Structure 1
Amino acid sequence: MAAPKRKTRGKAKKGAAEVAVVEQGEGGPNGVPKAETVDDKDKSGPDFKPKNKRGEANKYGLTRGYSPYPYRTVPTKEQCEEVHRILGETHGEVRQPEKVPAPSIEVAGCGEVPSVLDALLRTRISANTLMANSNKAIQQLAQIYGTAKHGVGKGSIAWNAVRLGSMDKLINAIRPAGTPKLKAGHIKQILDMVHEEQKARAHAHIEGEAVPGAQNEDAGQKAREVADVVEDYLSLEHMRAMTADEAINEFVKFPGIGVKTAACVLLFCLHIPCFAVDTHVQKMCKWLGWVPEKANEMDTFNHGEHMVPGHLKYALHQLFIAHGQDCFKCRKNTKPGSSGWSEAPDCPLEHLLDRNK
């Protein structure tokens, strides 16, 4: 009697390359690597994605400076400009404000405030909820904790009061934004980390030691950091002296902060071109064929960062969102055959889209 065949586990078929695929979630990986086989003949194709080694120094699989798809040549600069032109004609021209607006205690926003710390925490509060809910949370934070009286965050939430207050008080304040225990835990940890980091940076400046971004700061900026510690003013303004890569790596060290949040802070607060990806951006990039059908949001971010011209990243982000909300045929809850599809106006990008992806 023949011996039963042994089952193999995690082994790619003969003649195929094994590629690690990890699903990402905001605030940290929410999956484990799983094997996906890619035929050898496709190793030079546009959908081929070599294994990207992840580790403590790169837990999200960032591919800064290159695309995860080494043989994918789209989108070209011309293709990006065409989509930008069409959507601009449809929804109106989008230009990034030269100056970040003053903070609001009525609207949470997604990072469009002057203070880097304020932008980071507002964006975390706004995650996975409706804007009306995050707005209510910001309003309650201002009512309960008061507002900052000086510094770049003047007029916004008094975040040091939040740091010094109780966890239960914060949970109740941000309850309207959803998952209040999780978000409150992240906020408290971030504030404590910022406080400790500021003290460490101030000491380094006094001692003349190197810290990230210090090489780009003048004596006045370093003195301001030291003064902030003395005055118990929480700040991440030193991030402005960092490169995009340095800033992203620093942001994602904080609990609950993933690449999506970091990208929004770079784009809206720091005014650093960054291809921030949300569900609308992800969907449009797939339909346009800019990324493969199986690309996740991390893949789209990495590829878009490399391929989309910097001067178009802000506008395309905003226009993709506006289009995903306003175009009947590109909304989340519609598809070919939906009620009203035949009567709805054609999408201005229809000739460029493949909705089967």
Structure 2
Amino acid sequence: MERRITRAAAAREAALLAASTQPAEPQLSSTPQPSDTTKESKVKKQASASTNVSTRKRKSPQGNTAARNKRKKMVTVIPPDISELPHNLGSVLVPQNQGVSGASNVVVKEPTETKPLLKEEELDKLKDELQETVDKATETLNGTSETKTKKKKGHPYGLTPGISPFPDWHHPTPEECEEVNRLLSGVHGEANPPATVPEPSLTVTGCGEVPSVLDALIRTLLSGATTGANSAMAFQGLVSKFGILQEGIGKGSVNWDAVRRAPIKDVFEAMKSGGLADVKSKYLKQILDMVHKENMERRNALLNAKKEGTADLPGANNETEVEKQLEIERANENVLSLNHLHSLTKEEAMLELTKYPGIGPKTAACVILFCLQRPCFAVDTHIFRICKWLGWVPPEKKVTEITAFSHLEVHIPDHLKYSLHQLFIRHGKTCPRCRAITGETSEGWEEGCVIDHLVKRTGKRKGGEPPNTGRKSARKTKDRPNAQEAEDHKTQGEEPNEQEVTTRNNE
């Protein structure tokens, strides 16, 4: 029986035949395809892209018309050539060996050699600066308080050993120092350094004239910014409270380890009669804690050095084996000591001493001069005043006691440092014209001054007080030396309780 072909069947067969012969719709890839460099290849691509139209199967005879109408409305999609440059400039060069098919047929332009913009040293420096900036930013974001800033190396008080802070000021000359030393010696007697350091006194504090370096440091601390009588009472209070070592290596010295172990309240009560006990007792406790820790560290290092043969300690190379053994024995017996400073240079000793709380250049210089017996021109308020009047420091510059010390330490000959230090203090305390806050109406002014022709008094001490002040005013100013010294400290940017280098209290 012959099969009957209806319209619907014919339409379905035609639709199936069209679907089977229609090419698949191209898919755009995210990777760039190699481009032909000829114009003919571009035309072929556009012609093939225009025939890619999506179709849909017809499900019913009525859907055939709908499919034709939809095909009319569809927009022809031409995939863009992503390798094409704008303004007909050609195609982008594709590098070889990139895993793209056909890349071997593409001509690649070799890069031309260019000179670096920066030298290798400049580039390394730039990298370091960038890395430092990144590190700082990272620390800030992480909330860290520590910053990796480079600290300037130097003395904590700005001292410049061997170099004057005023290189253009050439006073005093050696001849000027000799003349002033001769004139003052004629009035106050010669001041020569002792051959040996005297034994420590239990009644007079002094300013470092004792054999023990730790004793010298603490005695000078107690004598600062107060009278000799007050500092002596503070020292006697410590002796009465904590006692003296009666035997062993530290015999005759205050039992500083007992002071270290005592509560701060007991230390304050022992020295409260000496003035500034609240501040000085705290300094004393902190110093003793630091010394004890350092003594233990030095002992351990010296014991290890006996096995290894070397000891990386300040001054250890200048100590004899006997001195090293004494250090070990003192530490074993808890006898606090700073006697190893004898083996340091003057500059090294200054650095070691000024690292302790409350110890400034004046106190350190005094210990170096009297206890270590090294030539060092310690500058206190009397010395500073007279040196300014003599023109030994530049008048037009802002000079402090610290900068004056650095300058005078360079210019004053070593053999005159002890003598001039003592003579200036004696003269500054006794001369009617060179004491603090004196004037023409001061008592004894008419007696004159042995260095009057060399000095130019300035400021409040110029000697031109109003005539109506009279002797009563002069007596008031005479009774206020400590107030004036504290005022001097304030003007120089130092704390009023900064240690004061004074003359020997037993003189």
**TM-score (ref. length: structure 2):** 0.58
Matching of residues 151-190 of structure 1 within 5 Å:
153-190=250-287
CA contact (8 A) 1:114 1:153 kept: no
Partner residue, 1:300: 404
Determine whether 1:310 maps to 2:407: no
Q: Distance in 1 between matches of 2:283 and 2:173?
A: 39
Partner of 2:441: 338
Residue 57 of structure 1, CA deviation: 4.3
Q: Would you say the 8 A contact 2:391–2:455 is kept in 1?
A: yes
Spell out, residue by residue over 1:218-266, the C-alpha distance to the aligned partner (whole angstroms, 9 max, x if none). Answer: 1111111111111111100000000000000001111111111100000
Residue in 1 aligned with 2:324? 222
- What letter is aligned with 1:110? C
Q: CA shift at 1:339, angstroms?
A: 3.7
1:275 and 2:383 aligned: no
**Counterparts of 2:181 and 2:388, CA distance in 1:** 16
Change (3 A) 1:332 1:151: farther
Residues 119-171 of structure 1 deviation map (CA, whole Å, 9 limit, x = unaligned): 00111111111111001111111111111224675323211111111111100
- Counting only pairs closer than 5 Å after superposition, residues 119-198 of structure 1 correspond to structure 2 as 119-150=216-247, 153-198=250-295
Unaligned runs of 5+ in 2: 1-150, 306-310, 460-507
- CA separation in 1, counterparts of 2:304 and 2:246? 30
- What whole-Å deviation, never above 9, does each CA across 1:275-306 have from its counterpart, x for those lacking one? 10111100111011000233110111001111
Count of residues in Structure 1 that have an aligned counterpart in Structure 2: 302
The 3 A distance-change label for structure 1 pair 244 and 348 is same
| Residue 314 of structure 2 is aligned to residue 212 of structure 1 | yes
CA spacing shift, 1:306–1:138, aligned 2, 3 Å: same
Unaligned runs of 5+ in 1: 1-53
Are 1:281 and 1:320, in contact at CA under 8 Å, matched by a contact in 2? yes
- Measured at CA, do residues 68 and 289 of structure 1 come closer, stay the same or move farther in structure 2, by a change above 3 Å? same
Alignment map for 1:1-357 (pairs within 5 Å): 55=152, 57-150=154-247, 153-208=250-305, 209-293=311-395, 294-335=398-439, 337-340=440-443, 344-356=446-458
Deviation at 1:94, TM superposition (A): 0.8
Name the SS for the 1:329 alignment partner.
coil
- Residue by residue over 1:34-92, the C-alpha shift from the partner in whole angstroms, topping out at 9 and shown as x without a partner, is xxxxxxxxxxxxxxxxxxxx957422010101100111111111110110000000111
Structure 2: distance between partners of 1:338 and 1:245: 44
Whole-angstrom distance in 1 between the partners of 2:269 and 2:205: 17
Larger Rg belongs to: 2
Are 1:63 and 1:302, in contact at CA under 8 Å, matched by a contact in 2?
yes
Q: 1:153 to 1:348 in 2, by over 3 A?
A: farther
Whole-Å separation in 1 of the counterparts to 2:190 and 2:250: 30
Greater relative contact order structure (CA < 8 Å, 6+ sep): 1
Residues 153 and 229 (structure 1 numbering): CA distance in 2 closer, same or farther, change over 3 Å? closer
TM-score, normalized by length of structure 1? 0.82
Contact kept? 1:105, 1:157, Cα under 8 Å: no
Mapped partners of 1:98, 1:131: distance in 2: 24
CA drift at 1:356: 2.2
> Take 1:216 and 1:163, find their aligned partners in 2: how far apart are those partners?
29
**Structure 2 letter corresponding to 1:303:** H
CA distance in 2, matches of 1:115, 1:244: 17
Report the equivalent of 1:4. none
Query: Cα deviation per residue 1:83-107 (whole Å; 9 max; x = unaligned)?
Result: 0000000111111111111111101
Once the two structures are TM-superposed, the CA of residue 195 in structure 1 deviates from its matched residue by 0.6
Does the CA-based 8 Å contact 2:216-2:371 persist in structure 1?
yes
Whichever structure has more strand as a proportion of its residues is 1
For the residues of structure 2 that align with 1:193 and 1:340, how far apart are their CA atoms?
48
Q: Report sequence identity in percent.
A: 48
Q: CA deviation at 1:340?
A: 4.1
Question: 8 Å contact 2:169–2:394 — kept in the other structure?
Answer: no
